């Protein structure tokens, strides 16, 4: 009779330990999966978002420089106009190159809606 009680307790302890081990394995698997998802999201930020910010900053810089050149053209009233027009044309090319590179990057649904407008 004592032997059956010990077996039963041992079986219960083994089952409890097995369930606990299964629970720990589930937590580890969930953590590993979440880590992979987080790594992908971080890679998306590094590869795409930073590149987008860099290209948009280049576009903003080109636009600001065009405004400066136009302001200088108004101040000088026609002096050295050919040079200023060439500077604007170069800035427009730089802006368009940045925009083309920006459109080539992958985007989500919100980004596509913004790019189409």
Residue ranges of domains in the chain: 2-105
Q: What is the pLDDT of residue 115?
A: 59
Q: What is the pLDDT of residue 4?
A: 53
Residue 80 φ then ψ, to 5°:
55, 40
pLDDT digit of tens for each residue in the chain (117 aa)?
A: 466 566 677 787 888 899 999 999 999 999 999 999 999 888 877 878 888 899 999 999 999 999 999 998 888 887 788 888 899 999 999 999 999 999 988 876 666 666 566
Q: What is the pLDDT of residue 114?
A: 60
């Amino acid at each position: 009779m004592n032997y059956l009680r010990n077996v039963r307790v041992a079986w219960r302890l083994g089952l409890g330990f097995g369930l606990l081990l299964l629970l720990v394995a589930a937590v580890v698997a969930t953590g590993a999966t979440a880590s992979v998802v987080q790594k992908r999201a971080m890679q998306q930020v590094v590869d795409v978002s930073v590149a987008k910010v860099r290209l948009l900053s280049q576009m903003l810089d080109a636009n600001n420089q065009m405004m400066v050149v136009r302001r200088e053209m108004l101040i000088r009233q026609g002096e050295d106009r050919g040079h200023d027009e060439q500077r604007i044309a170069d800035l427009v090319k730089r802006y368009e190159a940045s925009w083309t590179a920006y459109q080539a990057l992958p985007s989500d649904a919100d980004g596509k809606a913004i790019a189409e407008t």
